[in-house]
């Protein structure tokens, strides 16, 4: 195997300045237009007529992207082609720059920027021989393609789930006639009810941060930052029983949480189902279904009608977003019998589980990629040691 060299980045490549290409000057076409954070549009004619790397210069400074065909790098970027990196495989260079992580040396005042001369001074290690560079790039790109395949499956499954929810909540399971209601078409046999008819509600609170013993317990304490998954079994923060009694309240398993205050409400209304008893903070509301409503059906009904719920969000003059308690209580959902609720929730959850499975695979592949990137780019593991 080849020996490894330590060189300055400026001795390995040349960073070229991107070109001005205002939005009004672009003609929609097949050539990707790259900014610092990736593809930002298209054009009908390339600035660079071969594959190359794009390095963020302003904004998302230090970010690296790989165009495998002709491209247009705009003036917030640097770019590199094979002509600018003699004796170095372009794909290997892409991963080398990701490992070096030029984001470390960008300025943090105003708009982050990458200084070319500072970048050139960065020390890098790389194998002298092109065959070893190509093998390293092949291994890393294989894992990267596997990650991208999982991302495509997740995106497709997410779209299928959304389409299935729309179909089930408007047409039901039995192909029965529909009726028009204030929330849109629903099967004729279904009722439409406000949440206050079939649920009760709980507010939350935050125990005193001045008492550290309150924050070393076993009771999950949910805040808006945890509302990234449809089902919650555990969260980042935990409180003690004493903290619960002094500053919060336990919501039972099967509660559906909704964010009712915070900047996230400017974009969406997060909802999630608690699979174990949990406490919540004051920016959340717990909706506890009564005997006529299944928790999982309520979760998916709120997901299916999220746009309606989003319209209820109020915005104050200083930008605070709030979903008032009376709006949540009055919010209307469709209500079939419990057997139909169970069937609908089960069908949707099957897709949800598929999405979660592929999300776990993606996370595992990301871990593998990070490990390989470090091991291969530091020569701690050599390519001849791997059985690919």
Place of tokens 């605070």: 320
Contacts of residue 288, Cβ cutoff 8 Å, sequence gap at least 6: 199, 200, 201, 202, 251, 252, 254, 255
Residue 358's H or E segment, with its range, is helix 338-377
Compute the distance between CA of residue 295 and CA of residue 286 in angstroms, rounded to an integer. Answer: 12
Q: What is the DSSP letter of 247?
A: H
pLDDT of residue 108: 61
pLDDT at residue 106, as a whole number: 85
Q: Residue 208's closest CA among 249, 251, 243, 245?
A: 243
Orientation angle between helical segments 90-100 and 338-377, nearest 10 degrees: 100
44 three-state secondary structure? coil
Handedness of CA 315, 182, 308, 291 (dihedral sign): positive
Place of tokens 């309240």: 249
In order of their start, the domains of the chain are 4-128 (3.90.220.20), 133-173+337-377 (1.10.287.1120), 191-335 (3.90.220.20)
pLDDT, tens digit (0-9, with 9 covering 90-100), for 12-59: 999 999 999 999 999 999 999 999 999 999 999 999 999 999 999 999
CB 178 within 8 A of CB 188: yes
- Please report, for residues 212, 223, 246, 269, the alpha-carbon distance to residue 249 in angstroms, rounded to integers and kept in the order given: 18, 13, 9, 22
Question: CA-to-CA distance for 153 and 42, rounded, in angstroms?
Answer: 25
User: DSSP string covering 142-196, please?
Assistant: HHHHHHHHHHHHHHHHHHHHHHHHHHHHHH-SS-PPEEEETTEEEETT-EEEEHH
Residue 93 tokens, joined: 């260079």
Q: How far apart are CA 214 and CA 226, in angstroms?
A: 19
**Cα separation, 211 vs 233, whole angstroms:** 26
The answer to whether residues 384 and 1 touch, using CB atoms and an 8 Å cutoff, is yes
Position 56 scores a pLDDT of 96
pLDDT, position 258: 97
Interhelix angle 130-171/295-304, rounded to 10 degrees, is: 100
User: Would you state the structure tokens that stand for residue 388, as one six-digit string?
Assistant: 């690919």
What is the structure's pLDDT at 99?
96
What pLDDT sits at residue 126?
95
| Secondary structure of 47-92 as H, E, C letters | CECCCEEEEECECCCCCEEEECCCEEEECCEEEECHHHCCCCCHHH
pLDDT value at position 315? Answer: 83
**Contact predicate 245/204, CB 8 Å:** no
Residue whose tokens read 């930008």: 319
For the chain, give the number of residues: 388
CA distance 291 to 303: 21
Whether 368 contacts 143, CB under 8 Å: yes
pLDDT lower than 70: segments of the chain: 1-2, 108-110, 317-318, 386-388
Q: Over the Cα atoms of the chain, what is R_g?
A: 27
Distance CA 25, CA 22 (A): 5
pLDDT at 317: 63
């Amino acid at each position: 195997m080849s020996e490894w060299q330590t060189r300055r980045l400026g001795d390995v490549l040349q960073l070229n300045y991107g070109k001005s290409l205002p939005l009004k000057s672009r003609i929609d076409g097949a050539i990707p237009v790259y900014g610092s954070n990736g593809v930002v549009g298209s054009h009908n004619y390339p600035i660079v007529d071969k594959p190359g790397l794009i390095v963020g210069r302003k904004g998302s400074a230090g970010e690296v992207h790989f165009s495998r065909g002709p491209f247009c790098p705009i003036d917030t970027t640097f770019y590199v082609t094979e002509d600018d990196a003699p004796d170095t495989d372009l794909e290997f260079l892409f991963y080398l720059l990701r490992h070096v992580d030029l984001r470390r040396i960008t300025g943090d005042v105003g708009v982050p920027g990458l200084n070319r001369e500072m970048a050139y001074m960065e020390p890098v290690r790389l194998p002298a021989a092109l065959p070893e560079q190509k093998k390293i790039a092949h291994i890393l790109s294989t894992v990267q393609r596997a990650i991208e395949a999982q991302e495509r499956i997740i995106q497709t499954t997410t779209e299928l789930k959304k389409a299935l929810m729309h179909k089930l909540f408007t047409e039901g399971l039995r192909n029965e006639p529909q009726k028009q209601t204030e929330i849109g078409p629903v099967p004729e046999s279904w009722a439409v009810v406000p949440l206050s008819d079939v649920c009760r509600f709980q507010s939350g609170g935050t125990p005193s941060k001045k008492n550290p013993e309150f924050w070393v317990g076993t009771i999950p304490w949910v805040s808006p930052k945890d509302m990234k998954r449809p089902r919650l079994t555990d969260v980042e923060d935990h409180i003690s029983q004493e903290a619960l009694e002094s500053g919060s309240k336990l919501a039972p398993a099967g509660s559906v949480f909704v964010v009712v205050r915070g900047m996230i409400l400017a974009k969406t209304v997060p909802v999630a189902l608690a699979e174990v008893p949990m406490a919540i903070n004051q920016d959340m509301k717990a909706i506890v279904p009564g005997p006529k409503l299944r928790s999982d059906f309520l979760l998916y009904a709120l997901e299916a009608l999220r746009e309606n719920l989003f319209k209820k969000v109020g915005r104050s003059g200083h930008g605070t977003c709030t979903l008032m308690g009376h709006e949540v209580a009055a919010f209307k959902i469709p209500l079939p019998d419990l057997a139909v609720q169970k069937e609908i929730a089960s069908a949707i959850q099957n897709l949800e589980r598929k999405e979660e499975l592929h999300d776990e695979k993606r996370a595992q592949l990301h871990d593998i990629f990070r490990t390989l990137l470090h091991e291969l780019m530091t020569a701690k593991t050599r390519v001849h040691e791997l059985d690919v």
